[in-house]
């Protein structure tokens, strides 16, 4: 961890000196770089460039630095508890337009989000392992990481297992994907890896463990200390199974997903019990409608989730950043704006979650 900060400082100093010599302002250069990245999509910034933009003053990453897991808490580089909060994209193949600087910046500044989750489906139509254009999908992920990095936000790379059910189905592809990603971002402290969104159906905690025991070492070889999120069976509801047999790695958190109109007291009780028993839990996806991602929202249940999540300082990422005609989309169908949304342009879930993030700012 220390090495990363020293590296950041040295690279920033070198960059500042060369910019001063060339008579150019650092911020302008950073912005220019970002514009270039979003146009060319697949351009990967060099370490110097990403390090320089990481350090932009006052941003979440600048304030908190590299994260780690301390028993049940996510903590920042100073050892203080931190709650990541923000939006998950919808499938990157289907709603790529929301991966852009204006959107992330608006979420950071207006919604007070400090994190973005990049959801890349693996087995649905256009998924990474089911006919999607892998190079294009990877460059979308890289674009998202680079934009978040430029804005000093944390970013989660999500291998969005869903209809594949058991993550072992595409284990080899997951290993090479995470090898590539962690090789690129191993030196950056703002990147988290989510190795399987929601195991379900035939997947058991034993099969997820077998998968994690192969994928995590691949990431660790490139990135020894990043935070890694691991999904649990039954669409990331069975955290109790993980609590009974946690993985043998540091800086791992187990994901709990909820949809407030479907998952109520029993899942909250489970979360509270697992945390009390020492399990680090991360809510990497939730909605306040039903488990289909649609149907009516349940504000009463959502408020109870919010209270519990804040009580334990659990990180939370809301599903989903799109204008799809469904109640989990935070932007209303028909609104094509990519930032600057007014209340009228947000769905009920959008208004509610923005309110949550803004009130509990850190």
C-beta closer to ligand DCB: residue 285 or 298: 285
Nearer to ligand DCB, 121 or 185 (CB): 121
Does the annotation count 285 as an active-site position? Answer: yes
Check 143, 194, 198, 326 and give the catalytic one: 198
CB 343 to ligand DCB: min, Å: 22
Q: How far is the CB of 162 from ligand DCB (least distance, A)?
A: 5
Task: Give the residue at shortest CB distance from ligand DCB.
Answer: 293
Nearer to ligand DCB among residue 76 and residue 198 (C-beta): 198
- Smallest distance, ligand DCB to C-beta of residue 120, A: 11
Residue ranges in contact with ligand DCB by CB under 6 A: 124, 162, 197-198, 235, 259, 262, 285, 291-293, 319-320, 324, 326, 328
SS3 318: strand
Read off the tokens for 132.
Answer: 């999607």
CA dist., res. 301 & res. 263, Å (int) = 9
The closest alpha carbon to 150, from 80, 240, 60, 81, belongs to 60
What sign results for the dihedral spanned by CA atoms 157, 162, 167, 169?
negative
Residue entry with tokens 């900060």: 5
CA geometry: angle at 274 spanning 270 and 278, to 5°? 170
Q: Which of 285, 337, 345, 349 is catalytic?
A: 285
Whether 32 is catalytic is no
Kind and range of the H or E run holding 254: strand 252-259
Least Å from the CB of residue 88 to ligand DCB: 9
- Looking at the Cβ atoms of 143 and 349, the one nearer to ligand DCB is 349
The span from the CA of 318 to the CA of 338, in Å, is 17
CB of 299 to ligand DCB, least distance (A): 18
Q: Residue 111 or 121: which CB sits closer to ligand DCB?
A: 121
Q: What b/e readout covers 84-110, taking b as 16+ CB neighbours within 10 angstroms?
A: bbbbbbbbbbebbebbbbebbbbbbee
Phi and psi, residue 242, nearest 5°: -70, -35
Residues with catalytic function: 198, 285
């Amino acid at each position: 961890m220390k090495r990363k900060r020293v590296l950041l400082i040295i690279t920033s100093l070198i960059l500042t000196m060369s910019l001063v010599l060339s008579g150019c302002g650092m911020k302008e250069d950073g912005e220019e770089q970002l514009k270039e990245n979003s146009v060319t999509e697949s351009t990967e910034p060099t370490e110097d460039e990403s390090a320089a933009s990481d350090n932009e003053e006052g941003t979440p990453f600048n304030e908190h630095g590299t994260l780690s897991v301390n028993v049940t808490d996510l903590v920042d580089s100073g050892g203080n508890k931190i709650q990541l909060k923000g939006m998950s994209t919808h499938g990157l193949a289907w709603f790529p337009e929301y991966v852009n600087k204006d959107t992330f910046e608006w979420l950071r500044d207006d919604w007070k989000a400090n994190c973005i989750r990049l959801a890349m489906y693996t087995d649905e139509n256009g998924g990474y392992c089911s006919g999607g254009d892998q190079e294009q999908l990877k460059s979308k992920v890289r674009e998202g990481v680079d934009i978040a990095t430029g804005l000093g936000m944390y970013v989660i790379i999500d291998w969005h297992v869903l209809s594949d059910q058991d993550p072992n189905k595409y284990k080899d592809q997951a290993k090479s994907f995470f090898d590539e990603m962690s090789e690129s971002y191993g030196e950056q402290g703002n990147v988290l890896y989510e190795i399987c969104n929601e195991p379900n159906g035939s997947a058991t905690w034993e099969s997820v463990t077998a998968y994690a025991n192969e994928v995590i070492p691949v990431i660790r070889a490139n990135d020894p200390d990043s935070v890694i999120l691991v999904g649990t069976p039954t669409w990331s509801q069975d955290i109790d199974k993980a609590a009974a047999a946690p993985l043998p790695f540091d800086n791992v958190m187990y994901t709990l997903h909820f949809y407030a109109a479907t998952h109520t007291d029993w899942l909250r009780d489970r979360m509270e019990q697992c945390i009390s028993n020492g399990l680090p839990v991360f809510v990497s996806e939730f909605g306040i409608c039903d488990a289909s991602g649609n149907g009516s929202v349940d504000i009463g249940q959502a408020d109870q989730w919010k209270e519990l999540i804040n009580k334990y300082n659990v990180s939370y990422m809301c599903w989903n950043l799109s204008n799809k005609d469904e109640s989990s989309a935070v932007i209303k169908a028909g609104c094509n704006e990519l930032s600057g949304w007014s209340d009228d342009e947000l769905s009920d879930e959008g208004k509610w979650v923005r309110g949550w993030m803004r009130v509990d700012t850190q």
